[in-house]
A and B are shown apart, each in its own frame.
Chain A
Amino acid sequence: MEFFISTLLFGISVGGQYALIAIGYTMVYGILRLINFAHGDVFMVAGLLGIYLSASFPLYVAMPLVIILTVALGFCIERVAYKPLRSAPRMSVMISAIGVSYLLQNTATYVTGGQPMIYPTLPFLSDTITVAGTSIKWVVVLTPILVVVLVILLTQLINRTKVGMAMRAVAKDFETSQLMGIKINSVISTTFIIGSALAAVGSMLYFTNYSSVVPTVGSMPGLKAFVAAVFGGIGSIPGAVIGAFLIGICENFVKILPFEGATTFVDAFTFALLIIILVFKPTGLFGEKATDKV
């Protein structure tokens, strides 16, 4: 029973970390119809920034700086690699995204020498508590709470504010949005800023669990977050979050299945799950329905 609860808690926590990355995928897709392959690497860079900045600054300075610099990175990537291709075919933008992904990974290899770097121990988050007889880190308990709070704030922003209304309009129709006076480039930048900030927060939580950062560390959580976004119905924020929690929980239960190699097959299982879901529900759990009336 204790084992079950700790597995569940850990699954929810990992799922929450995927969720923070998945929101970035799903929001960018919702607006640009682009799978931003560089997003997982932005998450990795946030991890490295955490290591380097905490070496020179106290944590209460370093961690806000991580968020600010990650946001700046996301903003610049959009302006340099995607904005010039606004009227190009979607495939070209996607190739540009893959290019950025490798650029970030290679730069990280160059800077770190490819050595695994150890993430700093964040006080409080790394402290352990005892829940239902098992001792776990605070981060495990805190992640889902933080994710839920952030998601509520984000949906309020999107559904209740003027900028949120503009985001929903731009997601549907670039040209008509422009006719309303909306500057679509600033709306798109806002989307990247939000996505990158959440990825930065995700990196702090994730690397408190798995403390080693290597240049390719973004690809797996990045891919899983992408799967979560597709699973939930790409473009839908609640969908991405629920998808991420389900994947986090499932993969932690697969790990403890009583057959040999269960741990090894966790990732294959995640993708098999995606395929099955998409066979039965091609648009994902909360995928966009075509409601447009012509």
Chain B
Amino acid sequence: MLKIDELKVSYGGIEAVKGISLEVPERKIVTLIGANGAGKSTTLRTIAGLAKPAHGRIHLQGEDITGLSPDRIVSKGITLVPEGRHVFPDLTVVENLKIGAYLRRDNINDDLNWVYELFPRLKERSWQAAGTLSGGEQQMLAVGRALMSRPKIIMMDEPSLGLAPIVVKGIFDIIKEINHQGVTVLLIEQNANMALRIADVAYVLETGKLTLSGSGRELLNNEQVKKAYLG
């Protein structure tokens, strides 16, 4: 569904992504694991249109989307839940969700209800300013907001960052649920254990290059991965 060929991206004069190729099959969960600074975030930011690639192509369902502006990427059906959640703190929960559907012209009420079903907590707090939510609730809101654009692919940058283990488990259950309902997921995580458990396909990224790939289960049992990422 999403195909990346020989992608190279420089960031602040340093080549952060050094020619990676990967594929995200439709309706699957794909995860990219790797240490800090391996180029995971840069890869997602480039797909989302926030960074421009120096080299390589990105195709969505056969269509070349390399270098499109972020709003065009959203309209093509790719959304990014940014690292650190970045909800709009002064906007209410429901406004945050509505702004996720900013480009849509059709009726969004069904999707609003869908997100409220996934995250009942958000419905209870819909008139609260998003800045008053807890970290876990903000992460739910960030995911819900991304879903409001009706994406084909949802990309998530470290959704477990800074959250309590019980909350992380809830978030991962939701990721599985979203995927089950037909949304393709591209997930990057430092919490490799959790990510590999739910991933259909996994890649290991080391200093800008892919070093390993396989199914989530294969990588979970891989000696190298165990040593480096699962402790």
Contact = CB atoms under 8 A, between A and B. Distances in A.
A168 B70 contact: no
A73 B69 CA distance: 27
B32 interface: no
Given A165-B98, A293-B131, A179 B89 contact: no
B1 interface: no
A162 to B, nearest CB: 7
A281 interface: no
Contact of A181 (B102, B131, B132): B102
Contact of B89 (A162, A165, A181, A292): A292
Given A175-B50, A180-B102, A181-B103, A165 B131 contact: no
Contacts, number: 70
Interface residues of A, number: 19
User: In terms of DSSP, what is the predominant structure of the interface of chain B?
Assistant: mixed
Interface string B125-157: 000010111010010000001000100000000
A176 B50 CA distance: 10
A111 to B, nearest CB: 39
Given A165-B98, A176-B82, A181 B88 contact: no
A165 B91 contact: yes
A112 interface: no
Contacts of B98: 162, 165
Contact of A179 (B48, B75, B90): B48
A182 interface: yes
Nearest to B48: A179
B70 A166 contact: no
A172 B99 CA distance: 13
B16 to A, nearest CB: 17
B82 A179 contact: yes
A56 interface: no
Interface in A144-173: 162, 165-166, 168-169, 172-173
Contacts of A172: 88-90
A168 B50 contact: no
B46 to A, nearest CB: 13
A292 B129 CA distance: 10
B75 A181 contact: yes
B29 interface: no
Interface string A168-200: 110011011011111100000000000000000
B82 A168 contact: no
B86 interface: yes
Given A166-B99, A293-B131, A183 B89 contact: no
A291 B128 CA distance: 13
Given A175-B82, A179-B48, A291-B90, 8 more contacts: A165-B95, A172-B88, A173-B88, A175-B86, A178-B49, A178-B69, A180-B102, A180-B149
Interface of B: 48-50, 69-71, 74-75, 79-80, 82, 84, 86, 88-91, 95, 98-100, 102-103, 129, 131-133, 135, 138, 145, 149
6 contacts: A165-B91, A168-B88, A172-B88, A178-B49, A180-B149, A291-B131
Interface of A: 162, 165-166, 168-169, 172-173, 175-176, 178-183, 291-294
